[in-house]
């Protein structure tokens, strides 16, 4: 994990379907193709980073229902 303050030059996005309460995460494309994920309520907090292949695998798993409860 890294600190969000190191990524002030990136564009953070959250889903248009985010809860009105603000309980959501934001994602951003980082240098080297990495993807950052942070808590939208803690903009200066830690950022979880994914390598491109790991992010693609995660998104593919979500689409395939791998994480459905």
Reference 48, options 61, 34, 40, 36; nearest CA is 36
Six-digit token string for 28: 């951003």
pTM to 2 decimal places: 0.75
Using one digit for the tens of pLDDT, what is the confidence trace for 20-53?
A: 666 788 999 999 999 999 988 888 889 999 999 9
Coil vs helix vs strand at 16: coil
Six-digit token string for 51: 């390598």
In the chain, where are the structural domains located? 2-63
Rounded CA-CA distance 34/50 in Å is 6
Contact 41/59 with Cβ under 8 angstroms? no
């Amino acid at each position: 994990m890294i600190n969000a303050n190191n990524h002030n030059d990136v564009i953070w996005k959250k889903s248009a379907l985010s809860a009105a309460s603000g309980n959501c995460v934001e994602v951003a494309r980082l240098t080297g193709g990495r993807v950052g994920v942070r808590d939208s309520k803690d903009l200066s907090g830690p950022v979880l980073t994914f390598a491109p292949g790991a992010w693609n695998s995660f998104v593919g798993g979500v689409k395939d229902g791998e994480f459905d409860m």
